[in-house]
Amino acid sequence: MTVYYELPPFRPPTEAYSLLIRATRNCSWNRCEFCSMYKGSRLELRAVEEVKQDIITAKMIADEIMEWAWKIGYGDRVGMVARANGILWLNDGLVKNVFIGDSNSVIMKTEDFAQIISFLYQTFPHLERVTSYARAKTLVKKRPDELRTLREAGLSRLHVGLETGDDELLEYVKKGATAEEMIIGGRKAIAAGFELSEYVMPGLGGKERWEQHAGETARVLNEINPHFIRLRTLGLAPNTPLYEKNRQGEFTLQSLEGLLIEVRTLIQNLEVTSQLVASDFASNFYLPQVDGKLPDDKGRMLRALDNALEKAQSRARA
């Protein structure tokens, strides 16, 4: 029997081993000039019953894998059997983490989204974490009681694309939210009890705006103090407006040396108690090990960046 359920095409790196469920399709905004993810597609809200059917299908798959594992004498190694069959989200026969896509599922009607989340917990009673992407602008628009409803239903972590805290740059890349809205949205999420992960994009200001990008981003993050700050360096995707601006000489890509100075400026100016994560994105390849807890690891992070910068400069001189 062929079983089928819809998967979100994108997920945060931390959700590699999570069950992926698709509650909405595409992006509610779709205008960020650096982003190619959902270009040409429009937002669709899936019917709650359709999403529930997907959850039931995922449960059937989990049950079948467990049954098969016992049949072949691997009952105590269900996770291994699941992985051998291309399923990464079933560890020891239990589903513990779920990511709900696509790019802004909190835009659904609160009752509908809460129903989906509650159904996940009914179906997989050992769930520990349910996460979703969320636009800051949508968090600003949601009432505090609506956010609490989602939190109480079991949505535990929100991944928000801050990218930059610089108003001029937010406008330039058409992010569709101001720095103030980023702060309000982030604070509302934390006040409602969510773990908050804010994504920052080194390089987004190019050579033209890197300094204000780093400084203002630190300022906004200081105001929010999210649980996680995640770096994902700009990778210029073809067919995006920013790519065209670069081709026309209006936007200049940062050098690797410039990126190191930019990230150093950002970290230097952070006054938060967040966990900083950079090692899980391939586009951060030029960074030394800067993952750690702020402020405790700030000195180590800055020293690592200074060493990397010194090496980059001596390579450039050689």
List of residues contacting ligand SF4 (CB under 6 A): 27, 29-30, 32, 35, 37-38, 103, 135, 161
Nearer to ligand SF4, 29 or 194 (CB): 29
Strand (E) or helix (H) holding 64 = helix 48-71
Nearer to ligand SF4, 10 or 17 (CB): 10
Query: Shortest distance, CB of residue 161 to ligand SF4, whole angstroms?
Result: 5
Query: 312: how many CB neighbours lie within 10 A of its CB?
Result: 18
Nearer to ligand SF4, 117 or 234 (CB): 234
Nearer to ligand SF4, 90 or 204 (CB): 204
Query: Shortest distance, CB of residue 51 to ligand SF4, whole angstroms?
Result: 20
Nearest to 98 by CA among 160, 18, 158: 18
Query: Shortest distance, CB of residue 36 to ligand SF4, whole angstroms?
Result: 8
Strand residues in 164-310 grouped as ranges (E): 195-200, 228-231, 275-277, 292-293
Query: Shortest distance, CB of residue 29 to ligand SF4, whole angstroms?
Result: 4
Query: 47: how many CB neighbours lie within 10 A of its CB?
Result: 9
Nearer to ligand SF4, 43 or 261 (CB): 43
Query: Shortest distance, CB of residue 258 to ligand SF4, whole angstroms?
Result: 23
The two structure tokens encoding residue 163: 């990218």
Nearer to ligand SF4, 30 or 149 (CB): 30
Q: Give the separation between CA 232 and CA 98, rounded to whole angstroms.
A: 22
Query: Shortest distance, CB of residue 287 to ligand SF4, whole angstroms?
Result: 21
Q: Give the separation between CA 279 and CA 208, rounded to whole angstroms.
A: 26
> Residue 229, Cα to own-chain centre: how many angstroms?
10
Phi-psi region of 206 (alpha: psi -120 to 50; beta: other; left: phi over 0): left
- Residues 6+ positions from 122 with CB-CB distance below 8 Å: none
